[in-house]
Amino acid sequence: MINPKLVARIIAHTDTKTKLRLAKVIPKLGKADEITKCMLCPNMCLHVCPVFDAERRLTVSPSVKARLGYFANDPSYEVFEALYRCLPCNACKEACPMDISVSENLREIRSKFKTELGEKAKNEFERRMEEVERKMSNKERDGKILYFPGCSTFESNLFDRTLELLEKLNLDFGVSPDAICCGMPYMELGYIREFRENMEKLKKITKKYEGVVSNCPHCVLIMQENGIKAAHILSAIIGAVSELQLRGSNVLSEISYHDPCILARKLGILDEPRNILRKAGFTVHEPIYTGKETYCCGFGGIYRFIDPENAEKISERRKQQFEYEIVTACPSCKQSLNARDIVEVLLDVL
């Protein structure tokens, strides 16, 4: 049960208009216990949120977004735009003693309303999708495993390099010009009908393959969550590269590895990239924030469609945390950090 004393204290500090809104919303709150717990917490997530770091206003801190999210019942509500300001890197969930997922809660709230901000971001994303569709149109090929690049792989010029590596490793993979999007922006922006339609189409396409591999950790996660047998491209590469091929590379060069948020926190892929880089002859250095405590590159999720300037600020902050050339395993991180993707690195040494 929600603590009535706490609710009374919140209400006592708001204006009349907000009080009336709260009075309507509070009885309907299904997650009241979660808010109560959150309000008792000494804000453990405040200093891990890259969005708060970039914008320096409390309204966009995870706890305030989480709490405002529960009370938002009208898109004209002045704080509603803050509810789009999430990467979603999940750093706050890692730090949260109550195991609250702010990003999932925000996604749920966004799906309840249509806003001008959301519509603008959706249009921008659909424009990008048309470009990817054009680029994919002549790439069709047959194979056992579907190679699903995802939109950011094209934007970071990683598509052709990945094809080259898969061919070099003699992997039997296909490409479908119809399989271009996992629907992440629809899901994050709250366009659930569009997300489901896209996912149904994707499920039909992927059915005829033994599995799917993608460069993008977020695409992999979304496909897995929706029952598609998907894996990160690293799994296919690791299975196919022989120790002998790696030892032959003899590189001896120093690099720093950046953990992509979703790859590290959601897919749990932490040791594999480091091990393969070491076997290929690299000395792998760690930045200040590393492993599951990584720091987002700023280009995750929908945030860069909503606020490109602050997304860039996050990216600059992250770049400063590295001493050596950055290597990563995600097309968005590659683009944001001017890094090299592990696909490119391996292609050069094999």
- The residues of the shown chain that bind ligand SF4, judged by CB under 6 A, are 37-38, 41, 43-45, 48-51, 62-63, 65-66, 86-92, 95-96, 98, 100, 102-103
> Shortest approach of ligand SF4 to residue 45 CB, angstroms?
3
Query: In terms of CB distance, is 162 or 294 closer to ligand SF4?
Result: 294
Query: In terms of CB distance, is 257 or 303 closer to ligand SF4?
Result: 303
> Shortest approach of ligand SF4 to residue 314 CB, angstroms?
9
In angstroms, the Cα distances linking 181 to 13, 193, 263, 278 are: 45, 15, 18, 33
Query: In terms of CB distance, is 65 or 122 closer to ligand SF4?
Result: 65
Tell me the pairing of strands 173-174 and 211-214: unpaired
**Long-range contacts (CB closer than 8 Å, 24 or more residues apart) made by 288-293:** 288/321, 289/321, 290/257, 290/259, 291/259, 291/264, 292/94, 292/259, 292/264, 292/265, 293/91, 293/94
| Cβ atoms of residues 161 and 340 within 8 Å | no
> Shortest approach of ligand SF4 to residue 313 CB, angstroms?
13
Angle between the N-to-C axes of helices 32-40 and 62-71, in degrees from 0 to 180, rounded to the nearest 10 = 150
Sign of CA dihedral 239, 241, 244, 248: negative
> Shortest approach of ligand SF4 to residue 324 CB, angstroms?
26
Query: In terms of CB distance, is 86 or 202 closer to ligand SF4?
Result: 86
> Shortest approach of ligand SF4 to residue 101 CB, angstroms?
8
Give the three-state DSSP class for 283: strand
| Cβ atoms of residues 118 and 81 within 8 Å | no
Query: In terms of CB distance, is 92 or 132 closer to ligand SF4?
Result: 92
Query: In terms of CB distance, is 90 or 176 closer to ligand SF4?
Result: 90
> Shortest approach of ligand SF4 to residue 177 CB, angstroms?
33
Burial-class residue 138 by CB neighbours within 10 Å (0-12, 13-18, 19+). exposed
> Shortest approach of ligand SF4 to residue 44 CB, angstroms?
4
Give the separation between CA 35 and CA 6, rounded to whole angstroms.
10
User: What is the residue type of 71?
Assistant: F
> Shortest approach of ligand SF4 to residue 252 CB, angstroms?
36
Burial-class residue 271 by CB neighbours within 10 Å (0-12, 13-18, 19+). exposed
Residue nearest to ligand SF4 (CB): 41
- Residue 4 CA to chain centroid, in angstroms? 37
Query: In terms of CB distance, is 90 or 111 closer to ligand SF4?
Result: 90
> Shortest approach of ligand SF4 to residue 52 CB, angstroms?
6
| Cβ atoms of residues 202 and 322 within 8 Å | no
Query: In terms of CB distance, is 206 or 310 closer to ligand SF4?
Result: 310
Tell me if the bond preceding 149 is cis, omega within 30° of 0. Answer: no
Give the separation between CA 202 and CA 195, rounded to whole angstroms.
11
Query: In terms of CB distance, is 38 or 255 closer to ligand SF4?
Result: 38
